[in-house]
Structure 1
């Protein structure tokens, strides 16, 4: 692994790299509440085929963390990655996103299809099926109620109190965190404790237009989503750990409507942190999908 600071549009960003620079690029986008080091289990397993590049996204880790919710709208987050791809020599490249990183990955694929050759999502959601699910008042609505708490003013202070006690409880709720040993806990706390970072991380939730209903009460007046513009035109792989309690299968219902060339791979027994729990299974799913596509050419 190699680590460095770069500038994107004059702003500092931290990235990690694995694999030879002359290999095809794989852009790896982490989610909440992680950082670029979250890929340290998976990236080495892909580094013989790809030059893996993982940024600390805006507001995370050692990257730029401006104040103000408006700095964390999806278009700004996608813009950062457009600048990064340009600095890497341009596209099209393969993009992998997990959790919130999936939102940025989908944004790249939908709004800059010229930059994305293949899209891989690991337990992440397309905006339309997810909005439908969290607005319906059912199981995904209930599972997403934590979003209301995160959006509350000062939630970052509550999560940081007592050595991030509530942050740990939220991070590990109903999931197997055996992969998170003492050394790694120190690494995560180091990243969360950087000035302004926890607030910035949560501002991603505050900036999102996502409407989360009350359980049992479907929401009305949803934002007008430009469905015809939210299409993934490139080959798309969705890897799904079916024991996820934060994102339920209903959150991807109807994804085929937006991704005609979609392959679904389910990994039984793995939860939201599938890239940590069984990185070999995730790597095999990615490499098997790519090999099959190349064999068909």
Structure 2
């Protein structure tokens, strides 16, 4: 767990807030006016933490309340030894934070990587609390008929999933990700793709590797891919309630897609999104890989703010 006062040379200046309502010490950032009409929840995935959103928090917090949780096992959140780190566990944790602790409504979910399935799981439980959905290089499992075929094709084609599948099969996945303090930034660069290697400074490496101090601290980063690449594994989330899925599909949504992603390949991720949201916009970011927040933060922010402005009245009407 990264110390609460760590700023990584001033690149992460946000006040650390904590709750233990979900049974572990969970860190989150809460910026912007608390009385704002809408709240943006920025949710990271594998193998990042809230630091991923550092370029977007201040601009978005000028008009919105911005909540940035760290998933269990990542960033400034704890890594409890007694959790299975399944997707459903992360959904439970998010629900506890957003509902029981913060009691949020009028939520816009901004989701990346595993943040997509986790945020979708939360939204299916509480569609009345969610106004809009922003997907960034992620998937939203809403039970559409062609979704699993597209995911299977992606996993067979993707550099990240081909590596993770082979490593799980030959027994090296635990070893490599169990040493994530040494391997994690290389995997981000080589198998998920960061298109601007010049951003990879010693501070950047320290920020992304900082949680993974020993094997016990790597439980979360190991468990995410295992849920998808273990032979015979079932989908990590059950099929959604059709009524809840229909309610979410009626909400404003957008996909912001880094087109050089080598983990979740755009040729599968864009059709998967369009199955659920056939009329929603897809904004392609041609020079970004799996992490547009790192590769193209200005373009990502512009696209996100455009979506927020153009859907504001629609979200209010439906809310």
Give TM class, smaller chain: 0.7 to 0.9
CA positional deviation for 1:257: 3.0
In structure 2, what is the Cα distance between the partners aligned to 1:259 and 1:205? 26
Q: CA contact under 8 A between 1:160 and 1:167: conserved in structure 2?
A: no
Determine which of 68, 71, 82 is the counterpart of 2:84: 71
**Structure 2 gaps, min length 5:** 1-13
Q: What number of residue pairs does the alignment pair up?
A: 288
* 1:185-237 Cα distance to aligned partner (Å, 9 max, x none): 1122222226622222211222x3x4689xxxxx9x98996366355332111
Matched with 2:10 is: none
TM-score norm. by structure 1 comes to 0.83
Contact preservation (8 Å) 1:105, 1:119 = no
Compared CA separation, residues 83 and 159, structure 1 to 2 (3 A): closer
Structure 1: where are the runs of 5+ without partners?
A: 214-218
Offset of residue 45 of structure 1: 2.1
CA distance in 1, matches of 2:151, 2:20: 37
Structure 1 range deviating more: 259-268 or 30-39: 259-268
Deviation of 1:44 (Å):
1.6
Q: Where in structure 2 are the equivalents of 1:1-297 lying within 5 Å?
A: 1-23=14-36, 24-67=38-81, 71-86=84-99, 87-127=101-141, 131-136=148-153, 140=157, 144-149=161-166, 151=168, 153=171, 155-159=173-177, 161=179, 164=182, 166-173=183-190, 174-176=193-195, 177-193=197-213, 196-206=216-226, 208=227, 210=228, 226=239, 229=242, 230-231=245-246, 232-233=248-249, 234-252=251-269, 253-259=271-277, 262-294=280-312
What is the alpha-carbon distance in structure 2 between the residues aligned to residue 281 and residue 105 of structure 1?
Answer: 23
CA distance in 1, matches of 2:220, 2:150: 26
Deviation of 1:119 after TM superposition, in Å, equals 0.9
Q: For residues 26 and 155 of structure 2, what CA distance do their matches in structure 1 show?
A: 39
Comparing 181-190 and 125-134, the one that deviates more: 125-134
Instruction: Report the Cα offset of residue 14 of structure 1.
Output: 0.9
Residue deviations 1:232-284 (CA, integer Å, cap 9, x gap) = 33211110111112111232214333235622111122111111122121111
Q: Secondary structure at the match of 1:172?
A: helix
Shift in CA distance, 138/72, structure 1 to aligned 2, threshold 3 Å = closer
Given that 1:133 and 1:141 are in contact with CA atoms closer than 8 Å, whether structure 2 keeps it comes out as no
Decide whether the 8 Å contact of 1:270 with 1:278 is kept in 2. Answer: yes
**In the superposition, relative to structure 1, how do residues 140 and 284 fare at CA in structure 2: closer, same or farther (>3 Å)?**
same
Deviation of the 1:141 alpha carbon:
5.1
Most deviating of 106-115 and 251-260 = 251-260
Q: Could you tell me which residue of structure 1 aligns to residue 5 of structure 2? A: none
Of 172-181 and 131-140, the range deviating more from structure 2: 131-140
